[in-house]
Amino acid sequence: MNINSVKRSPKRLTTAYWSTLNIQAYGKDNLYPQRMLDLILNSPTGGGCCDRYQTFIEGNGLNDTNFSEYVVNRAGDTVDDILGLIAQDMALYHGFALHVNYNLACEIVELNHIPFQNCRLEEETESGSVTYINIHPDWTGHKTRKGNKILVDKGHVDKIYTFNPIKEVILAQIVKSGGIDKYKGQILWYSMDGRFEYPKPIYDKVVTNLSTDEGLDNVKYRNTRNNFLMSGMLMHKKGVATGLDDNGDTRNESTLDDIDFVKSLDAFQGDVNACSIIDVTYNSEEDKPEFVPFESTNFDDKFDSTEKSTTERIYSAFGQEPWYLIRTGKTGWSGTAVKEAYEYYNSYVAKERRAISRALKKIFDHWYEEVNPNGDYSIQPLVYVSNQSNESDGAHNKP
């Protein structure tokens, strides 16, 4: 079949120009990263895979431990702290943002992490470059300060220059800002999808599966907590009903039975009331007591195939097929299988680690003092430690 004959799929990510703020919208409503975050956090399988992805990106920390313990800002954050935040954003969004401040000698004196979901690109210039990164603490407009919502408008959006450590450029920016005291520094904004291209997270390709996974979890919850789980019904002839209503009057039999029966239905739903017995009264005296077994509908069985395929696709999107095989027992639970899975996934996240190392090098090559004389910005891979060995401190054993 010719490609032109194939039904066209909608774009996964669209951008538009927002003239009010002069920015490139991140998604149709400018909330693509926020919506993707909600999606992955509500998927049990996807959230677990993303956590593992983040753990392997961060690895066992930087090779140079002295450098990793170096304090980089007035808040007391170390390089290792910044690395952890970068790894989190890389796993969730496939990008990260770092803010730097300069002194009058155009040397970097401070480094801070900026949440990637708070960043929006300025509209491109005629030359195709992006001059500013726009920062807002909450693009949804729900966050409050002192009881007031932080509006998404020009008054609450910070425009900060994109990273360019050339001395002449920095001096020109300082002058344009009105002096070093008013200069807001620069932001090193990185995307795995390319220079100044909004990235799509690694799990974008399985959006429908992540939503399905969330729905399946809801079905399991309701099946357990709200399903009828009584063992049966006891039916017997009608007796004499006595009692008073809310007004102190004697209730007639039909009213008492009908009301009590309706009110008692919720007492037979959920796991707490499992194996209970419902009492049904006959009106005819000829009827004898009878116990009728009651079989409830188990909705879990109806979604077994869907759950299996959904879980497999989510694992595949994160490149975690070895972990899926271990989880399902197809490769067994041996130290060799887990060790091989560690080695495989260490190589899988190598590109993300290299990107982080290059970004750190760009910044600390222009730091005001020498803090990494070895020039080693590489990240240590995770090592699986079995019960019989102790190869690396801080390694993770949980697959």
Residue 268: predicted pLDDT: 53
Q: Which amino acid is at 334?
A: S
Kindly state whether residue 392 falls inside one of the protein's structural domains.
no
Q: Are residues 37 and 169 in the same domain?
A: yes
Q: H or E element: which one contains 189? A: strand 186-191
Domain count for the chain? 2
- Residue 109 CB neighbour total at 10 angstroms: 16
Torsion of CA 113, 399, 33, 74, to 10 degrees: -10
Residue 9: predicted pLDDT: 78
Please answer whether residues 349 and 55 qualify as being in contact, where contact means their C-beta atoms are separated by less than 8 angstroms. no
Q: Answer yes or no: is pLDDT of 196 > 90.
A: yes
Question: What are the tens digits of pLDDT across the range 289-329?
Answer: 565 665 666 556 666 788 889 999 999 999 999 999 998 88
Q: Answer yes or no: is pLDDT of 111 > 90.
A: yes
Question: What are the tens digits of pLDDT across the range 41-83?
Answer: 999 999 999 999 999 999 999 999 999 999 999 999 999 999 9
Query: Cα separation of 114 and 27, whole Å?
Result: 20
Kindly state whether residue 176 falls inside one of the protein's structural domains.
yes
Residue 391: predicted pLDDT: 43
Domain range enclosing 137: 8-203+352-364
Q: Answer yes or no: is pLDDT of 152 > 70.
A: yes
Kindly state whether residue 213 falls inside one of the protein's structural domains.
no
Average pLDDT over residues 99-111: 97
Q: Are residues 97 and 12 in the same domain?
A: yes
Please answer whether residues 353 and 35 qualify as being in contact, where contact means their C-beta atoms are separated by less than 8 angstroms. no
Q: Are residues 147 and 289 in the same domain?
A: no
Q: Answer yes or no: is pLDDT of 398 > 60.
A: no
Distances (CA, A) of 30 to 15, 116, 148: 8, 13, 22
Query: What global pTM score does this model have?
Result: 0.80
Residue 251: predicted pLDDT: 52
Kindly state whether residue 44 falls inside one of the protein's structural domains.
yes
Query: Cα separation of 119 and 330, whole Å?
Result: 43
Q: Are residues 197 and 232 in the same domain?
A: no
Q: Answer yes or no: is pLDDT of 231 > 70.
A: no
Average pLDDT over residues 70-99: 98
Q: Are residues 244 and 197 in the same domain?
A: no
Q: Are residues 184 and 289 in the same domain?
A: no
Q: How confident is the model at residue 218 (pLDDT cuts 50, 70, 90)?
A: confident
Indicate the average pLDDT of the chain.
84
Query: Cα separation of 245 and 4, whole Å?
Result: 73
Q: Are residues 134 and 40 in the same domain?
A: yes
Q: Are residues 256 and 159 in the same domain?
A: no
Please answer whether residues 360 and 377 qualify as being in contact, where contact means their C-beta atoms are separated by less than 8 angstroms. yes
- The residue from 296, 323, 338 where one domain ends is 296
The gap from C-alpha 106 to its chain's centroid, in whole angstroms, comes to: 37
> Which of these ranges, 42-51, 257-266, 337-346, 380-389, has the smallest mean pLDDT?
257-266
Q: Are residues 104 and 168 in the same domain?
A: yes
Q: Could you write out the DSSP letters of every residue in 71-133?
A: B-STT--BHHHHHHHHHHHHHHHSEEEEEEEE-TTS-EEEEEEE-GGGEEEBPP-TTS---EE
Q: Which of 333, 349, 355, 305 is nearest to 49 (CA)?
A: 349
Residue 240: predicted pLDDT: 44
